[in-house]
Amino acid sequence: MSGAAYWLPVVFAGLMALSMLIYVVLDGYDLGVGLLLPFASNDEKDMMIASIGPFWDANETWLVLGVGLLLVGFPLAHGIILGELYLPVALMLAGLIVRGVAFDFRVKAREPHKPWWNVAFACGSLLAALTQGVMLGRYLTGFADGWLAWGFALLAGIGLAAAYTLLGAGWLIMKTSGALQAKAVAWARRSLAGAGLSVLLVSVATPLASSHIAAKWFALPEFLLLLPLPLGCIVLFATLWVILPRLAVRQAAGNDNWCWAPFACTVGVVLLSFWGLTYSVFPEVVIGRLDIWHAASDTAALWVIFWGAAVVLPVILLYTAFVYRVFHGKANALTYQ
């Protein structure tokens, strides 16, 4: 296989991976904020929602784009993956719908009803985070049956929720100030150990759950070339462990420099983890069943979709950059006219 028939599926796989990576980072922090919502006071809840208000709808665009690219670029894989993940996908969509409804209704709800919408937003965030992790775990095991495979999927669900919590705490440290910012630092310090342990357990369990992935990771010289990935994660977690207590002291003294560092370090962990997962899977789009070339659409169809993606993707990137540029800086109180 050569020419466009070879490289077009590679391009589409890269675009799909990029979309999912951006989704995990961007929607991950607002899901994390939702997971932290029950631990804040009423006024702090409003500020937490305000910190994600301008962004969260656009963040979910990347999930739609990633799934859309899977459908049009790799229809055979789309049918297998969504067929195997029918239940967790349905639960994830239910969680995202509940979050969306609660986000809008809590703003104008009367005081007796507002706590219930807060609970709905938090529960929707938890359901979406857990099911996304379960889907990842099921995918990495090749949709194997048995309690070990499902146990690994549940472990991946808890791990992803912990990572989202750390992302959300880092976002709040960067976007808020005062008492809420101090709480966010405390939340980050508490979630750090859980997120680190989850990354470790999932990293150890992944090659055990899939012999295909184990063969790719532990062959020489690939093992030595991939060693910087786990070492980089260890360095970033250690950096977070060191800077969070120091950041709390500096912020209590009115010095808010480096408030972005915890979020940046957590994003770094996500990038390294995603890089490792991408290497583990590529070039297969369904582990043990289909590679990207066998699952791809006809080359002529891919060309049409390619030019559409060449227009749509830069527009979404520019819009995302514009939104984050306009609403940069600290969050303001949430108000509706």
53 or 292: which carries more pLDDT confidence? 292
> Are 296 and 8 a contacting pair, CB within 8 Å?
yes
Nearest Cα neighbor of 73 from 134, 19, 139 is 19
Q: What is the pTM of this model?
A: 0.91
Spatial distance between the Cα atoms of 78 and 280, rounded to a whole number of angstroms: 19
Spatial distance between the Cα atoms of 40 and 34, rounded to a whole number of angstroms: 11
Confidence band of 336 (pLDDT split at 50, 70, 90): low
> Are 125 and 165 a contacting pair, CB within 8 Å?
no
Query: What is the predicted pLDDT for the residue at 71?
Result: 87
| Sign (positive or negative) of CA dihedral 71, 75, 79, 84 | negative
Query: What is the predicted pLDDT for the residue at 29?
Result: 93
Query: What six digits make up the tokens of 292?
Result: 């990207």
CA atoms within 13 A on the CB side of 62: 22
Nearest Cα neighbor of 33 from 124, 112, 106 is 124
How distant, in Å, are the alpha carbons of 2, 58, 61, 107, 110 from that of 27? 37, 9, 9, 20, 28
Confidence band of 235 (pLDDT split at 50, 70, 90): very high
Angle at 266 between CA 335 and CA 257, to 5 degrees: 65
How distant, in Å, are the alpha carbons of 45, 59, 76 from that of 72? 40, 21, 10
Query: What is the predicted pLDDT for the residue at 269?
Result: 93
How distant, in Å, are the alpha carbons of 34, 120, 123, 172, 294 from that of 103? 10, 9, 12, 17, 42
Confidence band of 227 (pLDDT split at 50, 70, 90): confident
Confidence band of 2 (pLDDT split at 50, 70, 90): low
